Amino acid sequence: MNPLSRRKGLRLGFLLGLLPWGLLGATNGPVGISPESLFQLGNREVSAGNYTNGLTAYAKVAAVPRTSAALEYNWGVAWSRLGEEGRARSHWRLAERLTPRNPLVLSALRRPTGAGTTPVETEDLLGWTDRLTLDEWGILALVPTWCWGGLLFLRRWKPAAAAALRGYTLGLGLITLVALGVLGAALARRSLGPDALTSTPQTPVRISPLAEARTAFELPAGTPLKTRSFREGWYLVADPRNERAGWVRAHHLTRLPLR
More confident residue, 26 or 220: 220
Spatial distance between the Cα atoms of 58 and 45, rounded to a whole number of angstroms: 10
- pLDDT confidence bin for 13, thresholds 50/70/90: very low
Question: In this structure, is residue 115 part of a structural domain?
Answer: no
The CATH number given to whatever domain includes residue 56 is: 1.25.40.10
Tell me the sheet residues that pair with 198. 253
**What is the full DSSP assignment across the chain?**
--HHHHHHHHHHHHHHHHHHHHHHHHHSSS-S--HHHHHHHHHHHHHTT-HHHHHHHHHHHHTSS---HHHHHHHHHHHHHTT-HHHHHHHHHHHHHHSTT-HHHHHHHHS--TTS-PPPPPP-TTGGGGGS-HHHHHHHHHHHHHHHHHHHHHHHH-GGGHHHHHHHHHHHHHHHHHHHHHHHHHHHHHHHS--EEE-STTEEEESSSSTTSPEEEEE-TT-EEEEEEEETTEEEEE-TTT--EEEEEGGGEEEPP--
Over 60: is that where the pLDDT of 95 sits? yes
Same domain, 22 and 42: no
pLDDT of residue 31: 44
Same domain, 48 and 90: yes
Same domain, 185 and 200: no
The pLDDT tens digits for 49-58 are 999 999 999 8
Question: In this structure, is residue 118 part of a structural domain?
Answer: no
The pLDDT tens digits for 126-171 are 788 888 888 899 999 999 999 999 999 988 888 888 888 888 889 9
pLDDT of residue 206: 94
The CATH number given to whatever domain includes residue 203 is: 2.30.30.40
- pLDDT confidence bin for 189, thresholds 50/70/90: confident
Question: In this structure, is residue 204 part of a structural domain?
Answer: yes
In percent, the amount of the chain with pLDDT more than 70 equals: 80
Same domain, 39 and 102: yes
Spatial distance between the Cα atoms of 164 and 242, rounded to a whole number of angstroms: 55
pLDDT of residue 123: 58
Same domain, 99 and 69: yes
Over 60: is that where the pLDDT of 227 sits? yes
pLDDT of residue 32: 57
Over 80: is that where the pLDDT of 18 sits? no
Q: 138, 163, 192 — which closes off a domain?
A: 192
More confident residue, 3 or 19: 3
Question: In this structure, is residue 116 part of a structural domain?
Answer: no
Question: In this structure, is residue 224 part of a structural domain?
Answer: yes
Q: Tell me the pLDDT of the chain averaged across its residues.
A: 80
Q: 192, 213, 236 — which closes off a domain?
A: 192
Count of domains forming the chain:
4
Range of the domain at 207: 196-255
Q: Is the dihedral of CA 252, 230, 208, 93 positive or negative?
A: negative
Over 60: is that where the pLDDT of 119 sits? no
- pLDDT confidence bin for 121, thresholds 50/70/90: low
Same domain, 207 and 246: yes
In percent, the amount of the chain with pLDDT more than 90 equals: 27
- pLDDT confidence bin for 117, thresholds 50/70/90: very low
Spatial distance between the Cα atoms of 178 and 238, rounded to a whole number of angstroms: 32
Question: In this structure, is residue 80 part of a structural domain?
Answer: yes
Mean pLDDT calculated for residue range 197-220:
88
Over 80: is that where the pLDDT of 12 sits? no
Same domain, 39 and 105: yes
Mean pLDDT calculated for residue range 236-246:
88
The pLDDT tens digits for 25-46 are 433 434 457 888 888 998 999 9
Long-range contacts of 234-239 (CB under 8 A, 24+ apart): 234/209, 235/196, 236/209, 237/196, 237/205
